[in-house]
Amino acid sequence: MKNEKKSFGATLGRVWSQYSFIFVLVIIMIGYAITIQANGNTFNFGHIASILSSQNTVIVGTIALGMAFVIITGQIDLSVGSSLVLTTGVTIVVFNVTNSVILMILAALATGALCGAINGLLVGFGKMPPFVVTLGTMLIYRSLTLSVVRKIDPAISGSSSSQFAMLSSNSKYMALRKSFGAGKLVIGNFSLPYIFFVFLFMAILFIVISKNTKYGKTIYAVGSNEKSARLAGINVTWVKISVFILTGLCVGVASILQACKISNVTPASSGVSYEMYAIASVVLAGVSMAGGKGNILGVIFGALSYTTINFIIVSIPGLSVDIQDTFQGLVLIIVILIQTVGPVIRENIQRARKRRQANA
């Protein structure tokens, strides 16, 4: 009987340590359902669909996939919000000028990859701290975009109000904005936004890379022990550079989603704090900020959890907008504390058990 209890406890501990992000999402979702019910409404699939199509899920979540790789290698990227603004600006301008979906996609991916490559090269070859490099490029990317949008011809930017906006007069506008950006796949009585499937596809791609490729294993190796990785023949510099480029590509995909979902980007305010939201999604996914550990599958749940936290806070009646960030921060700290304290408690219990066995 005791062995069965130990076996069950050990199994539960392993499941929690590996898939805590699933339990976290379920708990947060229950909290959201209770909030909705307390407001006199019925929690239904429409609320879930809103979470799936939210910016914090599809746009920030896509960026968070690349951020997870950066963090697993023991680095950080603070520039993703600003590079999203820059990349989306280029994406919209190319669309406005060419009316070509293919050129728009290529411009988004190329610009995002370039922003990521600049970060990576400065960190990899320049041996500069990632925090300092990406803090600098965060300021540069947004400032450049803001400067350009105020000087560029409105016929190209698509707006005269210091923002880049897709031209509704272009023949491809309706297909991108209405059919795709706001479109939904209807399955019976349920509907799922198309843009969520893009995020899901990106997540599956990154999961496959992390688990089933040699490159994915090198990312974890570099984050676990950089010196050992070098001795094992891994090109650590290239791995560090490459994860920033991958993050840039994720930003490129996110910029396409931004353009299609919202149809515009405002350099002065769009993407502000997205780097923090992406990091929060990664942390909620159970990825270690120390590097070397983390399940990319968890990023899907982390993004959904963070979005649901936002929805809960917004749903609380009478809660001032000024104090919402305080509640958001508190909830985030509590959730992360639960995730981090669990393994510590389990480790202390195991140590105590071993001491008792040694003394017996």
Q: At what angle do helices 101-124 and 236-262 cross, to 10 degrees?
A: 150
Distance from the Cα of residue 312 to its chain's centroid: 19
Distance from the Cα of residue 172 to its chain's centroid: 28
DSSP designation for 190: E
Backbone angles phi, psi at 55, to 5 degrees: -60, -40
Tokens of 348: 């202390």
Residue with tokens 């499937």: 197
Q: What is the pLDDT of residues 96-134, one digit of tens each?
A: 999 999 999 999 999 999 999 999 999 999 999 999 999
Q: What is the pLDDT of residues 234-246, one digit of tens each?
A: 999 999 999 999 9
Regions of the chain with pLDDT less than 70: 1-17, 338-340, 342-346, 360
Predicted pLDDT at 343: 64
Neighbour tally for 275: CB within 10 Å: 24
C-beta of residue 283 within 8 angstroms of C-beta of residue 68: no
Predicted pLDDT at 16: 63
Predicted pLDDT at 286: 84
Predicted pLDDT at 325: 80
Q: What is the pLDDT of residues 206-236, one digit of tens each?
A: 999 999 999 999 999 999 999 999 999 999 9
Alpha helices in the chain (DSSP H): 2-38, 45-53, 55-72, 80-98, 101-124, 130-149, 154-157, 173-174, 194-212, 214-224, 226-231, 236-262, 274-284, 297-315, 321-359
Predicted pLDDT at 105: 97
Predicted pLDDT at 58: 94
Report the relative pairing of strands 164-165 and 264-265 from DSSP bridges: antiparallel
Predicted pLDDT at 74: 93
Q: Which residues of 48-87 are buried (b: 16+ CB within 10 A; e: fewer)?
A: bbebbbbbbbbbbbbbbbbbbbbbbbbbbbbbbbbbbbbb
Distance, in Å, from the CA atom of 145 to the CA atom of 268, rounded to the nearest integer, reads 9
